[in-house]
Amino acid sequence: MFVEIVDALRCPRPHEESWLVLAARRTEDRHVLEGTLGCPVCRAEYPIHDGIADFTADTPVDHSATGALTTLPPADHLAAMLNLGDALGFAVLIGAWGTRADDLVELLDAPPLLLVEPPAGVKMGHGLSGIRAGATLPLATGAARAVATDSVDPARVADAARVARVGGRLVAPAESRVPEGVRELVRDASVWVGERQALPSAPVTLHVRRG
């Protein structure tokens, strides 16, 4: 778990949004390989093992709506779709997209990558961090520069969009619905690419002072 990504993690329990406190036991090159994340609000603790933080203790993981992508585009195509031309901010790869993580790191000076449900055989460190998530992504709203998800479940795709920053890219299976707040840019038979839009501000009531 890259230490700079820790600031973007949030406790997934149903209370006011809270950052997490890191207690690291083993680190290498600013990556926490063993440790614990603790919530100062509800006192929940989430273990980190082999660089992967586990948030599934309270919530069973349902993978029934994932794995819709049978063929993934190559890493250079994914980098273009996510607009990973610089190292400003971290990108999120959910599910099957994590198999492209090592190629992305080798391909370009990629930003840190956060893998959600990282595939077997992908080792954390050297720019790669991992989490196992429950029903919702344990990330602050607008924290990531870009997100790629393999889910077709509307709630999970909307949650992936939530954690992307305004102007950030979202890549999802073509069968999935484009969530509110995302503008579709392009699609093919496998995926669509969208851009996170700014949420409209709440209406303001104007009062006219008379006399």
Which tens digits make up the pLDDT trace of 160-195? 999 999 999 999 999 999 999 999 999 999 999 999
Tens digits of per-residue pLDDT, 60-80? 565 555 556 778 899 999 999
Please check the confidence at residue 203 and state whether its pLDDT lies above 70: no
- pTM reported for the whole predicted model: 0.89
SS3 75: helix
- Asked whether residue 140 carries a pLDDT value surpassing 90, the answer given is yes
Domain 3-196 fold: Rossmann fold (3.40.50)
For the segment 30-44, what is each residue's pLDDT rounded down to a tens digit? Answer: 899 999 999 999 999
Delimit the domains of the chain by residue range.
3-196
Rounded Cα distance, 129 and 70, in Å: 24
- Segments of the chain assigned E as strands: 21-28, 31-38, 45-49, 52-54, 91-94, 113-116, 128-132, 144-148, 164-173, 182-187, 191-196
